[in-house]
Amino acid sequence: MYDVHCHLLPGLDDGAADLEEGLALARLAVADGITHAVCTPHIHPGRHDNTAAGIRAACDAFRAALAAQGIALRVAAAAEVRASLECLADLQAGALPFVGQLEGRPVLLLEFPHGELPYGAERITEHILAQGVLPLIAHPERNKTMIRDPRRILPFVRQGCLLQLTAGALIGRFGGACSALSQAWIDDGRVFVVASDAHNLDHRPPLLSAARAYLVQGYGVEAADRLLVDNPALLTRALFA
């Protein structure tokens, strides 16, 4: 399986605190059946001031450590970018790393705050799309505005944005409301990919197999493969070439 959203790189954000934890997360991912992982530390101005160059360097060092430890996980560098005016300026300057590419268009993993959908959020995605970049909205099923009113996702879907659900949310680890919303959007065919959004070993582990079993039981093997293997492999083909 492919995990296109996880926080394994040590010391860059609220994910792995150090190399030891990053390697432990990688071992757990491999044991769970994950073969490829896109490391997506936060780019959140004023909180996690990561840069594309810094993330790439950290990923290169992490890749070398994985090889030295014999951990068979292929990793690539990208970022989870907080939706903001700053991200629009960074995008225009060519300073943001992309999580992949689809039909010749780079794809940006875009995060909204968990507690709300910011005023004018659709304008941010509109500007991103106008730059020829496709937003992949991270974990919208955990956004409180979306939980209260699932119709708020419709403007983004109509624009052509893609949706990434959290594996743990799908199987109930974030509560029944997140699970129900995840299932409703899968039922409607709105979901492009499921990822772990792993941060740590205890509460946010890099696990996808339980979500795969849930999808197989509810939607069949083909649907599970589409969300966990086929679509993410298509998205990240250039990253893992």
| Tens-place pLDDT, residues 204-213 | 999 999 999 9
Give me the domains of the chain, ranges plus CATH numbers. Answer: 2-235 (3.20.20.140)
Q: How far apart are CA 93 and CA 97, in angstroms?
A: 11
| Tens-place pLDDT, residues 84-142 | 999 999 999 999 999 999 999 999 999 999 999 998 999 999 999 999 999 999 999 99
> Shortest CA distance to 85 belongs to which of 132, 136, 119, 48?
119
- What is the full DSSP assignment across 149-217? -GGGGHHHHHHT-EEEEEHHHHTTTT-HHHHHHHHHHHHTT---EEE--B--SSSS----HHHHHHHHH
**Cβ-contact 48, 41 below 8 angstroms:** yes
pTM given for the model = 0.97
User: In this model, does residue 155 exceed pLDDT 90?
Assistant: yes
- Between the alpha carbon of residue 50 and those of residues 55, 59, 106, the distances in Å are 7, 13, 19
Phi and psi torsions of 103, nearest 5°: 50, 40
| Tens-place pLDDT, residues 15-73 | 999 999 999 999 999 999 999 999 999 999 888 999 999 999 999 999 999 999 999 99
Q: How far apart are CA 42 and CA 45, in angstroms?
A: 9
Dig out the tokens for 81 from the structure: 């970018």
Please, what sign has the CA dihedral across residues 21, 192, 123, 116? negative
Strand partners, 148: none
Mean predicted confidence (pLDDT) in 2-8: 98
Higher pLDDT, 47 or 176: 176
Given this model, what pLDDT does residue 46 score?
A: 86
Burial class (CB in 10 A: 0-12, 13-18, 19+), 94: exposed
